[in-house]
Structure 1
Amino acid sequence: MMSDMAKHAGTDVEAPARASRAPRTRRFSDPRRASFPVLLVFLVPALAIYFGLTAYPAFRTIYDSFFTIEGMERIPVGFANYVALWQDETFWVAVRNTFIWAFVAPILDVATGLLLALALYAGVPFARFLRIAWFTPVLLSYVVVAILWMWIYNYDWGVVNELLRAMGLGDLARSWLGDPNTALAAVIVTHAWKWAGFNMVVCLAAIHSLPREVLEASELDNCGWGAKLRYMIVPMLKPTLLNLYVLAFIGKMKVFDLVWIMTGGGPLWATETVSTYVYKRAFNWNTFDLGYPSAIAAVWFGVVCAAVILLNKIFKSKDRLEY
């Protein structure tokens, strides 16, 4: 009897202690109730990296655009760099080429990825091998892709011209990267080849997530592939396709690597983009003035932000699909 009373007494004494510890344990385990010092431990490293590598360079570029910077000497010039920018014909050629990249090339990227995904979904022969083969270019660096396609476009022994000559179309053979009329299109095709596999994987995942009941019902109604693609698959994939387009648009507004390696912006500015032009004015032309290229970068930063906001508003789906 005495031992039972002792046990009950011990239980009654420990109960308030456990009750007092429970809220404290929940407070530390629940991230929504974490104290401010705990939040700082996780936020400070991320914020330091963001401000040090992203925010500060962006604001410093905008600040430098109001100066003429030669070595360690800074000469305030106000908006002179921006005024000179409006009269820079090469800049406007670069803007035109970049807009072609940003608005036209994503259509090719997304459409190619969708077609490849549909081919895999339809069960083409060697689908397992083709899935790996089509995705492999995504894993290659821009340097490898650029050199590979420079060989393909070679005038004397490139695959493209050799195929044209073999088919009796030798008159169409040309220096694809040396002709101002074809250089930009040739580089865009190369870029689409590299990223088609990424779009293919995303589209294929989206297709597999579509409701099978709807697709099976269309097959029972003898709906052909063309009608099924036009009236069912593409409308249900619209959010995915638009997101891929916006992502491709952002990437191509700042395209640099592939253009710089394959053509360097030439010939005759035919493939010049804003990014390559900024690099040339800052480091390649030996002008020793970082103020003017900073003005170009600042203007283009605003253009990209405005274009992304505009595209998000245009493509914002009012009718949410639920399935």
Structure 2
Amino acid sequence: MPDAISIRTAAKSGEAKASSRATLADPRRATRLVLAIFLGPALLVYCGLTAYPAFRTIFDSFFTIEGMDATFVGLANYRELMGDETFWVAVRNTFIWSFVAPVIDVATGLLLALALYAGVPFARFLRVAWFTPVLLSYVVVAILWMWIYNYDWGVLNVMLRAVGLGDLASSWLGDPNLALGAVIVTHAWKWAGFNMVVCLAAIHSLPKEVLEASDLDNCGWGAKLRYIIIPMLRPTLLSLYILSFIGKMKVFDLVWIMTQGGPLWATETVSTYVYKRAFNWNTFDLGYPSAIATVWFLVVCAAVIILNRVLGSRERLEY
């Protein structure tokens, strides 16, 4: 029979091993060396590819940069920016994108999710078909919709002429009054599937007891959607709207491929204008576009904070 000292020694040894394993498993108890090993590579990549370019852009905004020569000009770039009419046109277009397009994106995704949840025919096929545009690159989407919008042989105008509405056929990307809306529709088509998947997952996570109780009370789909589903999906819809808002504030690739900001600045965004001033206008000055990027970075941060404060619910919904 082991004596009491041996039992206590074995118990202490087991406790020490358990404590060591808990220390390794709990990141709050990890040593600085372990944290440095795991966080170091990610921090280096972040600082090199995100933090440094951002701070360098802010720094360059106070200079006139021509080649390797930089001349300090203080706030001159920002004063010039305030009187730049093209910049304000780009701001207006970007705000239209950022506030209107996310509503279309999220609403379309929610409607598609509700259709699948209700069990429409061919639901499995439609789920794949509606999500497929998300997997396509912006280049493919832009070229596809440029064909659709073509005035002579585009699918949209051909369909309008076929049903006797030829007067509505237009040069969708060539008309300054229609170009921005046409590009927004294209962007909504691409991202509706992503919002659909998120909304569908959120709907399936809703408590079945509440939905079954509404069915027992003979609650119609309209009332159920308005008073039950949408209020309970509010945090998800808000998150999707904010994510879409941030993406729209930085939109560049789709606009550049389809219109390059034209016609007559009708689809110009801040991102495309920064690119033009930096690389496309042969002005050889990186200071002024850096000032535009800095101002817009602050605008995006402020807008996201305001949206979270205004749209965020202080009441926590539990179910």
What TM-score comes out, normalization by structure 2 length? Answer: 0.96
Q: What residue in structure 1 maps to residue 160 of structure 2?
A: 164
Q: Distance in 2 between matches of 1:167 and 1:315?
A: 43
Letter in 2 for 1:76: F
Q: Secondary structure at the match of 2:254?
A: helix
Contact 2:238 2:312 in 1 (8 A): no
Q: Secondary structure at the match of 1:306?
A: helix
Q: Secondary structure at the match of 1:75?
A: strand
Letter in 1 for 2:71: I
Superposition deviation, residue 267 in structure 1: 0.3
Structure 1 stretches of 5 or more lacking a match?
none
Q: Distance in 2 between matches of 1:154 and 1:314?
A: 41
Q: Secondary structure at the match of 1:48?
A: helix
Letter in 2 for 1:225: W
Deviations 1:26-71 (A, max 9, x none): 4334322111111111111111111111111000000000000000
Aligned pair partner of 1:194 in 176, 190, 194: 190
Deviations 1:224-264 (A, max 9, x none): 11111111111111111111110100000000010000000
Deviations 1:193-227 (A, max 9, x none): 00000000111111111122222222222221111
1:170-209 mapped onto 2 (5 Å cutoff):
170-209=166-205
Q: Distance in 1 between matches of 2:242 and 2:54?
A: 22
Q: Secondary structure at the match of 2:313?
A: coil
Q: Secondary structure at the match of 1:322?
A: coil
Are 2:95 and 1:81 aligned?
Answer: no
Q: What residue in structure 2 maps to residue 103 of structure 1?
A: 99
Aligned pair partner of 1:260 in 236, 240, 256: 256
Q: What residue in structure 1 maps to residue 28 of structure 2?
A: 32
Superposition deviation, residue 15 in structure 1: 5.4
Q: Distance in 1 between matches of 2:41 and 2:299?
A: 30
Call closer, same or farther: CA 1:14–1:110 in 2, change over 3 Å.
closer
Q: Distance in 2 between matches of 1:200 and 1:16?
A: 55
Q: What residue in structure 2 maps to residue 52 of structure 1?
A: 48
Are 2:128 and 1:132 aligned?
Answer: yes
Call closer, same or farther: CA 1:71–1:238 in 2, change over 3 Å.
same
Q: Give the root-mean-square deviation of aligned CA atoms.
A: 1.6
Q: Distance in 2 between matches of 1:8 and 1:87?
A: 87
Call closer, same or farther: CA 1:229–1:15 in 2, change over 3 Å.
closer
Q: Distance in 2 between matches of 1:158 and 1:268?
A: 22
Superposition deviation, residue 18 in structure 1: 4.7
Q: Secondary structure at the match of 1:74?
A: strand
Q: What residue in structure 1 maps to residue 115 of structure 2?
A: 119
Q: What residue in structure 2 maps to residue 320 of structure 1?
A: 316
Superposition deviation, residue 75 in structure 1: 0.5
Q: Mark the structure with the bigger radius of gyration.
A: 1
1:60-71 mapped onto 2 (5 Å cutoff):
60-71=56-67
Deviations 1:180-202 (A, max 9, x none): 00000000000000000000011
Call closer, same or farther: CA 1:208–1:23 in 2, change over 3 Å.
closer
Aligned pair partner of 1:216 in 212, 217, 223: 212
Letter in 1 for 2:24: F
Q: Distance in 2 between matches of 1:147 and 1:259?
A: 11
Aligned pair partner of 2:38 in 39, 42, 55: 42
Q: Secondary structure at the match of 1:149?
A: helix
Superposition deviation, residue 8 in structure 1: 8.3
Q: What residue in structure 1 maps to residue 280 of structure 2?
A: 284
Q: How many residues align?
A: 319
Call closer, same or farther: CA 1:322–1:21 in 2, change over 3 Å.
closer
Structure 2 stretches of 5 or more lacking a match?
none
